[in-house]
């Protein structure tokens, strides 16, 4: 399974960030239905009990699991265009809104209250285990970002060779990198090298 990263600060952007670039080569971390199901499980977007049922259903049915992967990639493509538009200060196209709405419309879910440590939590539960129902929390996150989010906080990583997006949740609004461990450290090292080698 790929090493997924969940440091975008927003679920919709975490899905966008499953497309990366490694040493100049595009890499799709959602390279199989099993990888997608693992991403959904790790993201926490789908309740564990629903994930178990979905894994059983989708890993047995090749056609359904292939369709789910196709739907996830289509949604991801729409969300990448959404992030590009928002971070560039441009309006989001009608096609992107239609792609998000298509997932929301095909995903009947109910809101449930659940007991959790120290209290209660609300959670959307799919009424069926079809693909759109599993992807609905991501589409809902994207819809909420568009309708309620602070668009000035959506940014592409400042590394020109990086394709990852972030939602800057810092109080100072100064996040520039997808992560300090990767792009941030590379930029720091490059500045240090330039300073000490007269460039």
Domain map of the chain by residue range?
A: 11-147
Token output for 1: 């399974």
CB 58 within 8 A of CB 68: yes
Q: Identify which has the larger pLDDT, 101 or 186.
A: 101
Strands, DSSP E only, in the chain? 19-22, 25-28, 109-116, 119-126, 154-156, 165-167
The CA-based diameter of the chain, rounded to the nearest angstrom, is: 63
Average pLDDT of span 65-75: 95
Spatial separation of the C-alpha atoms in residues 65 and 63, rounded to whole Å: 6
For domain 11-147, the CATH superfamily is: Jann2411-like domain (1.10.3300.10)
**Buried-state track 97-135, b at ≥16 Cβ within 10 A, e below 16:** bebbebbeeebebeeeeeeeeeeeeeebebeebbbbbbb
pLDDT digits (tens, 9 = 90+) for 1-15: 778 999 999 999 999
Residue 194 has what pLDDT? Answer: 47
**Per-residue model confidence (pLDDT) at position 196:** 42
Question: CB-based contacts of 30: which residues, under 8 Å, 6+ apart?
Answer: 18, 36, 39, 69, 72, 73, 76
- The closest of 40, 4, 139, 161 to 82, measured between CA atoms, is 139
Among 9-18, 116-125, 137-146, 148-157, the least confident range: 116-125
Region 65-74 average pLDDT: 94
pTM comes to 0.84
Which one is predicted more confidently, 189 or 155? 155
Mean pLDDT within 188-198: 46
How far is the CA of 182 from the CAs of 84, 95, 178, in angstroms?
A: 21, 33, 8
């Amino acid at each position: 399974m790929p090493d997924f990263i969940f440091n975008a600060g927003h679920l919709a952007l975490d899905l966008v960030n499953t497309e990366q670039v490694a040493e100049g080569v595009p890499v799709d971390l959602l390279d199989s239905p099993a990888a997608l199901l693992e991403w959904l499980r790790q993201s926490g977007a789908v309740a564990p009990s629903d994930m178990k049922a979905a894994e059983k259903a989708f890993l047995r049915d090749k056609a359904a699991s292939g369709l789910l992967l196709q739907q996830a990639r289509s949604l991801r493509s729409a969300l990448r265009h959404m992030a590009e538009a928002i971070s560039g200060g441009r309006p989001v196209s009608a096609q992107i809104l239609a792609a998000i709405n298509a997932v929301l419309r095909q995903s009947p879910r109910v809101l449930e209250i659940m007991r959790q440590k120290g209290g209660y939590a609300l959670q959307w539960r799919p009424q069926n285990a079809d693909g759109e129902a599993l992807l609905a929390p991501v589409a809902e996150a994207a819809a909420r970002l568009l309708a309620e989010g602070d668009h000035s906080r959506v940014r592409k990583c400042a590394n020109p060779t990086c394709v990852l997006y972030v939602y800057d949740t810092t109080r100072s609004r100064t996040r520039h990198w997808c992560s300090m461990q990767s792009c941030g450290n590379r930029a720091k090292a490059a500045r240090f090298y330039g300073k000490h080698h007269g460039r």
